[in-house]
Chains A and B, each alone.
Chain A
Amino acid sequence: MQVIKSGHGELIQPFDLDEFREWNRTRKSRKLVDKVMSEQEAISKFVYDGCYIGTELYGTVRCPMSLAREVVRQGKKDLRVCGQGVLELDMWLAAGIVKKLDITYIGLEVYGTCPSLRRAVESGQVESCVEWSNGAITWRMKAAAMGVPFLPTRSMLGTDTLEYSAAKVVEDPFTGIKVALIPALILDVALIHVHRADKYGNCQIDGISGFATEMSRACKRLVISTEEIVPTEEIRKYPDRTIIPYFLVDAVVHAPFGSHPGEMAYLYGRDEPGIKEWVDMSQTADGAQAYIDKYVHNVKNHQEYLDLIGQGRLSELIDGRERRE
């Protein structure tokens, strides 16, 4: 198969499928082991300087904010990150802990572009930005989840998005059409927030699943934060609802309101003033730092963060949740 064109973006997470298989054979227990731990323990155990890390879903929706704050609190640095992010990746960029990005979209959606992303990239603090579409980055994880080196797609063709990616264009040997081959993405660590999990890490999600299926199967280490830890009997009643089985999971962290100030479908709505506070404060580097001091460094853990937000405000968010009618 002849390569017609190669994107000149860096493959910032090279991979070895047989090594991944070996990892899954030897480093992922098949036993039902209690994996419940604190966020401090989970992040210090599995996230390390320079690692390739990703978060699911999408910055204001079912986002692992309590874990993302703990990553900043522990001073992890030189992270290589993939993503589509709003609050969590923007905060990491503001904290200066991101070195390389496989970027699809980092923006504040309704509130526009991210000043922290702009500062971090325009100043050269982020060493490389490799471009992908949302479909492409997810299919890269799907390739890893399938255990194959790449997937073909008809996205990205003809554009600078492809030129600045690490994709390759080839002629499909079956039909002769041009396709973009996108390389598997095996993450060192993934952070995913779910509605409920048991102590072993069997996870269920309500509402859209984003790319939880793909990311959970494309990573070497998976830290789950969950709104609720439920008995395994509950999981066994509805096994069809389990989207992430326990053997993929390395840590289970109990994190009620773990997506705050983002939302959690059917549990609580997004905290609009809370999001706006980040939008406003992150306009300047000093403001972003003040926000991080207030909500990350000046609280010891997620419980203290919730105390700072206050029960009254959290109750209002429950009132504003999406309801099943």
Chain B
Amino acid sequence: MSEPTYSKTELMICVASRLFEDGTTCFIGTGIPMLAAMLAAKTTAPNLVPIFEFGGMGAILEDLPRAVGEARTFHKGLYAAGICDAMESAQRGFVDYGFLGGAQIDPYGNLNSTTIGDHDHPKARLPGSGGGNDVGSHCWRTVAIMQHDTRRFVPKVDFVTTPGFLNGPGAREQAGLPKGTEPAYVVSTLALMDYDTGPGGTYRMRLKSTHPGVISEEVITNTGFELILPENVEVNEPPSAEELRILRDEIDPERLYI
């Protein structure tokens, strides 16, 4: 059987979907995180409890939500609440993971979705935090999903919309963010990254594994800051034929994202 062909976006979604742990509660941001969550729910994490910020909890993700308040975010759900209940659940420690996108990310995992350029006279006005800041503040672990290029992976984000490790070890706690919360992974179109958080670690982004067909140099060239390189860089499993079938036929048949 020949190897299936796939796009970079499809690959990114498949790699992201494998990070969802079965039986956990996950805040799902709009866009690519929704596709990854759906793929996970249909494959490796059937008991995933998706939480959408406007109040949908425990939905069966049969059709792709196009908005975070859409009826599909509480389709056959367990609970249809409001935004306060969703956010307060995260604030008191009930949400295990948060999956987010953004326009820019820096070495500490801080995300920008507010402005490019000066805030008061922006070159580009982006949508704003939405629930992003709440998710990045309160979820135990957050995962960012991004296109990988030097415009997005920058040494310093123009605006810290959503907190990563801020400016390094101890900075989150120093700022008052809940203890033990952390950015965990970044999934891009080229690779999977984590952070150097061991004892004495720098808390900067670290290459963990590249996507199949991508060499480390390509990731380095497309990153606007120095990425920590481990001794062994693993290679992610390519999308399986089954993952691609579900993604194309069941999740995004209208090709809104893939």
Binds A, one of B156-164, B197-205, B208-216: B156-164
Closest to B66 in A: A110
Q: Which residues of A contact B177 (CB under 8 A)?
A: 154, 157-158
> Is residue A139 within 8 Å, beta carbon to beta carbon, of the partner chain?
yes
Given contacts A107-B127, A110-B31, A322-B72, contact A158 B176 (CB under 8 A): yes
Q: Which residues of B contact A210 (CB under 8 A)?
A: 54-55, 69, 82-83
B82 touches A209 (CB 8 A): yes
A121 touches B75 (CB 8 A): no
Q: Shortest beta-carbon distance, A185 to chain B, in Å?
A: 14
Closest to B91 in A: A154
Q: Which residues of B contact A134 (CB under 8 A)?
A: 53, 83, 87, 129-131, 134
A117 touches B125 (CB 8 A): yes
Binds B, one of A14-22, A52-60, A228-236, A293-301: A52-60
Q: Which residues of A contact B119 (CB under 8 A)?
A: 129, 160, 164
Give the interface centre of A60, A207, A325 by most chain B CB atoms within 10 Å.
A207
CA distance A161 to B128 in the complex (A): 9
Given contacts A134-B129, A155-B137, A212-B82, contact A109 B67 (CB under 8 A): yes
B69 touches A159 (CB 8 A): no
> Is residue A61 within 8 Å, beta carbon to beta carbon, of the partner chain?
yes
Q: Which residues of B contact A135 (CB under 8 A)?
A: 83-84, 87, 91, 131, 133-134
Those of B130-175 within 8 Å (CB) of chain A: 130-134, 137-138, 159-163, 166, 171-172, 174-175
> Is residue A43 within 8 Å, beta carbon to beta carbon, of the partner chain?
no
Binds B, one of A23-31, A193-201, A218-226, A262-270: A262-270
CA distance A155 to B131 in the complex (A): 10
Closest to A63 in B: B69
B70 touches A61 (CB 8 A): yes
> Is residue B30 within 8 Å, beta carbon to beta carbon, of the partner chain?
yes
A157 touches B163 (CB 8 A): yes
> Is residue A307 within 8 Å, beta carbon to beta carbon, of the partner chain?
no
> Is residue B15 within 8 Å, beta carbon to beta carbon, of the partner chain?
no
Q: Shortest beta-carbon distance, B181 to chain A, in Å?
A: 9
> Is residue A132 within 8 Å, beta carbon to beta carbon, of the partner chain?
yes
Q: Shortest beta-carbon distance, A4 to chain B, in Å?
A: 9
Q: Shortest beta-carbon distance, B191 to chain A, in Å?
A: 24
Closest to A177 in B: B176
Total number of A residues with any Cβ neighbor in B under 8 Å: 64
Q: Which residues of B contact A178 (CB under 8 A)?
A: 175-176
CA distance A164 to B53 in the complex (A): 22
B84 touches A139 (CB 8 A): yes
Q: Shortest beta-carbon distance, B173 to chain A, in Å?
A: 9
B71 touches A265 (CB 8 A): yes
> Is residue B8 within 8 Å, beta carbon to beta carbon, of the partner chain?
no
> Is residue A214 within 8 Å, beta carbon to beta carbon, of the partner chain?
yes
Those of B46-96 within 8 Å (CB) of chain A: 53-56, 66-76, 80-84, 87, 91
- Mark B91-131 against chain A: 1 for CB-CB distance below 8 A, else 0: 10000000000000000001000100001011111111111
CA distance A272 to B55 in the complex (A): 22
Q: Which residues of B contact A272 (CB under 8 A)?
A: 66
Q: Shortest beta-carbon distance, A38 to chain B, in Å?
A: 28
Q: Shortest beta-carbon distance, A192 to chain B, in Å?
A: 12
Q: Shortest beta-carbon distance, A190 to chain B, in Å?
A: 15
A263 touches B128 (CB 8 A): no
CA distance A62 to B67 in the complex (A): 12
CA distance A263 to B70 in the complex (A): 8
CA distance A163 to B73 in the complex (A): 32
Given contacts A106-B128, A110-B66, contact A155 B133 (CB under 8 A): yes
Q: Which residues of A contact B238 (CB under 8 A)?
A: none
> Is residue A282 within 8 Å, beta carbon to beta carbon, of the partner chain?
no
B129 touches A58 (CB 8 A): no
Q: Which residues of A contact B162 (CB under 8 A)?
A: 159, 161
Q: Which residues of B contact A118 (CB under 8 A)?
A: 124-125
CA distance A273 to B159 in the complex (A): 34
CA distance A263 to B125 in the complex (A): 27
CA distance A212 to B82 in the complex (A): 8
10 residue pairs bridging A and B, Cβ less than 8 Å apart: A61-B67, A61-B69, A110-B31, A133-B131, A154-B138, A156-B133, A158-B172, A208-B74, A211-B83, A322-B72
A residues bordering B, Cβ < 8 Å?
Answer: 57-62, 84, 86, 103-107, 109-110, 113-114, 117-118, 121-122, 124, 129, 131-136, 138-139, 142, 153-161, 164, 169, 177-180, 207-214, 263, 265-266, 269-270, 272, 321-322, 325
Known pairs A103-B128, A109-B30, A159-B162; list 10 more (Cβ under 8 Å). Answer: A109-B66, A110-B256, A114-B127, A134-B131, A142-B84, A159-B110, A164-B119, A209-B55, A210-B83, A270-B67
Give 4 closest A-B pairs by Cβ, nearest first: A178-B176, A158-B175, A107-B127, A105-B130
B residues bordering A, Cβ < 8 Å?
Answer: 30-31, 53-56, 66-76, 80-84, 87, 91, 110, 114, 119, 121-134, 137-138, 159-163, 166, 171-172, 174-178, 256-257
